[in-house]
Amino acid sequence: MDVVLDFERPVVELRRRIRQLRELQLESGADLSASISELEVQASRLQQNIFGQLTPWQRTMLARHPARPYMLDYVAGLFDEWTELHGDRAGHDDAAIVGGLARLRPLGEKAEGDAPDGLDAQPVLVIGHMKGRNTKDNLYRNFGMARPEGYRKALRLMHVAERFRMPIVALIDTPGAYPGLDAEARGQSEAIARNIQEMSQLTVPIVAVVTGEGGSGGALALATADRVLMLENSVYSVISPEGCAAILWRDRAEGERAAAALRVTAEDCLGFGVIDEVIPEHLGGAHRYQDDTVLAVGLAIRRHLAELRELDTEALLQSRYDRFRRMGAMTEDG
């Protein structure tokens, strides 16, 4: 999907020029290697300058980029024997949340310098938000915004995973839970709260990864995990920047200002202890390097699952409890 963000346009246009020169060199036989090399140096320097100092708003734009890997891209790249499971057993199936059983695929790159982790072919439950690539798919997926039946489906599947002692991998990418009247009427807040409550007590390891947007309770309903990771250009916040701007300044156009105030970036979340690891992205963003991004996420998931499997149930639950209790601080005058 060739969507170009304003701030990355200079790099994209320079790389397009390089491709044109290479094609011209092939067609004409002229030696343009010196010009190509010079432009490649310029493009690398420009990309470093732009992506080395992104603002919170620019990272928000990258987190929403429609060409970033989505949940099913990670499933295809990291798991075998994928079997999707449907429905909340109460009459609904929400396409904004996808879940199913799979096995961890061996990753060859993992073996270089690393001891085997014993996770190859490990059965897992994979669950996450799913957006669409076009208007039709986005309408079907409701832009990744789940209704209560989506969260109830997720919880049902997580209990299946617990019953069969399978670790849970949650992939989070949502602007937030769907705020429509129908969702509220069917108990949106109760569904989210129940997921948070019951995930805190599940007796199997849970690793959650924010791959794009981590919006409010819609993200927390899948992110009450033992380890929460974020891709470098993802965002995680109690509210979208535009929603915050509409409340504070009554102007959604102040989203850039709100993004800076909300401290939505992965670096901020790591500093506050909200997450446990930032997964680096290539300069240029995950949407330009999809395969490498999927592999990096897979390696991080395996590493944390390998650590968590060493804990017995009591230690696992205590560690999860302590993780969330450590968040935040309170001071009293005097």
Q: 331 in a domain, yes or no?
A: no
Confidence of residue 222 (pLDDT cuts 50, 70, 90): very high
Q: Is the domain of 102 the same as that of 146?
A: yes
Domain of 236 in residue numbering reads as 59-325
pLDDT, residue 116, reads: 67
| The domain boundary residue, chosen from 15, 38, 53 | 53
Q: Is the domain of 65 the same as that of 47?
A: no
Q: Is the domain of 80 the same as that of 38?
A: no
Structure confidence by residue, pLDDT tens digits, 238-286: 999 999 999 999 999 999 999 999 999 999 999 999 999 999 999 889 9
Structure confidence by residue, pLDDT tens digits, 56-104: 999 999 999 999 999 999 999 999 999 999 999 988 999 999 999 999 9
In this structure, of 4-18, 124-138, 140-154, the range with the lowest mean pLDDT score is 4-18
Q: 1 in a domain, yes or no?
A: no
Q: 333 in a domain, yes or no?
A: no
Q: 332 in a domain, yes or no?
A: no
Q: 211 in a domain, yes or no?
A: yes
Q: Is the domain of 170 the same as that of 110?
A: yes
Q: Is the domain of 40 the same as that of 65?
A: no
pLDDT, residue 111, reads: 43
pLDDT, residue 91, reads: 86
Q: Is the domain of 187 the same as that of 232?
A: yes
Q: 38 in a domain, yes or no?
A: yes
pLDDT, residue 163, reads: 97
Return the residue matching tokens 């670790």.
167
Question: Into how many domains does the chain fold?
Answer: 2
Rounded-to-integer distance, Cα 304 and Cα 208, Å: 10
Q: 297 in a domain, yes or no?
A: yes
pLDDT, residue 109, reads: 55
pLDDT, averaged across the chain: 91
Torsions phi, psi of 83, nearest 5?
Answer: -130, 110
Q: Is the domain of 206 the same as that of 259?
A: yes
Would strands 206-215 and 235-237 be described as parallel, antiparallel, or unpaired?
parallel
Q: 68 in a domain, yes or no?
A: yes
pLDDT, residue 264, reads: 94
Contact assessment for residue 131 and residue 172, using Cβ atoms and an 8 Å cutoff = no
Q: Is the domain of 39 the same as that of 108?
A: no
| The domain boundary residue, chosen from 53, 74, 92 | 53
Structure confidence by residue, pLDDT tens digits, 292-323: 999 999 999 999 999 999 999 999 999 999 99
What are the tokens at 230?
């974020």
State pTM to two decimals.
Answer: 0.89
Total residue length of the chain = 334
Q: Does 235 have pLDDT greater than 60?
A: yes
Q: Under DSSP, is residue 101 helix (H, G, I), strand (E, B) or coil?
A: strand
In the chain, % of residues over pLDDT 70: 97
Q: Is the domain of 136 the same as that of 279?
A: yes
Return the residue matching tokens 């470098």.
232
In the chain, % of residues over pLDDT 90: 72
What are the tokens at 140?
């079907």
CATH number at residue 174: 3.90.226.10
- DSSP secondary structure, 202-268, as one string: -SS-EEEEEEEEEEHHHHHHHH-SSEEEEETT-EEESS-HHHHHHHHTS-GGGHHHHHHHHT-BHHH
Q: Is the domain of 115 the same as that of 18?
A: no
Confidence of residue 168 (pLDDT cuts 50, 70, 90): very high
Q: Is the domain of 46 the same as that of 181?
A: no
Q: Is the domain of 162 the same as that of 280?
A: yes
